[in-house]
Amino acid sequence: KRVAILLSGGGSNMVALLDSMTGDHPARPCLVMSNAASAGGLSKAAARGVPTAVVDHRPFGQDRAAFEAELIKPLIAAQADIVCLAGFMRVLTAGFVGLWTGRMLNIHPSLLPKYRGLHTHARALDGGDSEHGCTVHEVTPELDEGPILGQARVPVHADDTPDTLAARVLTQEHRLYPAVLRRFAGGSREPVLLP
Ligand code: GRF
């Protein structure tokens, strides 16, 4: 299976995914793409010999379809079978998502269905949650809605800030996403539930 990874930032999840696709793993990376030329993940991907691409969303303004018409091109050229969103911060339209039904994954930093959207760690703290975590799900047109493929849980500490909690969750993201991708690329949708 050929895996394309989309990111907007530093790409620590992308690195974890790249480093996991070795040996008898059923998938190999074929592309790392960003909407931002400044994304730190691009140089990390290049350093690992993975082809990269940038499609800057800014010239397209609010015309999401026009942006996505460009975004799809490197994915087709790379013959991607699976698309992993890893800190990709652009909302994708139903039209684009529909082309990847059952083949697009995302990692979200909360225990979905709790805290869809942004600022999940602050919201978990504000909510007084004793437990938090991250979720890998199939991407569907509804934001952060699709079938859950994996979750990892972390305790919330009384003295946590959004940053300390985010760091604890991120560590689990780097365990969860590779575990889910390996199982998913092998043809199973059995959820991965990490303690
Ligand atoms: C992480 O906070 C993750 O929860 C979310 O976006 C961020 C990605 O970080 N999906 P990185 O670019 O993978 O380091």
Q: What is the pLDDT of residues 68-113, one digit of tens each?
A: 999 999 999 999 999 999 999 999 999 999 999 999 999 999 999 9
Nearest Cα neighbor of 156 from 131, 173, 133, 180 is: 131
The protein residue with its alpha carbon nearest to ligand 1, atom 14, reads 12
Task: Give the Cα separation of 4 and 105 in Å (integer).
Answer: 10
How far away, in angstroms, is 74 Cα from ligand 1 center? 22
Nearest Cα neighbor of 34 from 17, 51, 16 is: 51
Would you say 11 is a known binding-site residue?
yes
Q: Output the pLDDT for position 195.
A: 81
Q: Is 73 within 8 Å of 99 (Cβ atoms)? A: no
Radius of gyration of the chain (CA): 16
Q: Output the pLDDT for position 28.
A: 98
pLDDT in tens, the chain (195 residues): 999 999 999 999 999 999 999 999 999 999 999 999 999 999 999 999 999 999 999 999 999 999 999 999 999 999 999 999 999 999 999 999 999 999 999 999 999 999 999 999 999 999 999 999 999 999 999 989 999 999 999 999 999 999 999 999 999 999 999 999 999 999 999 999 998
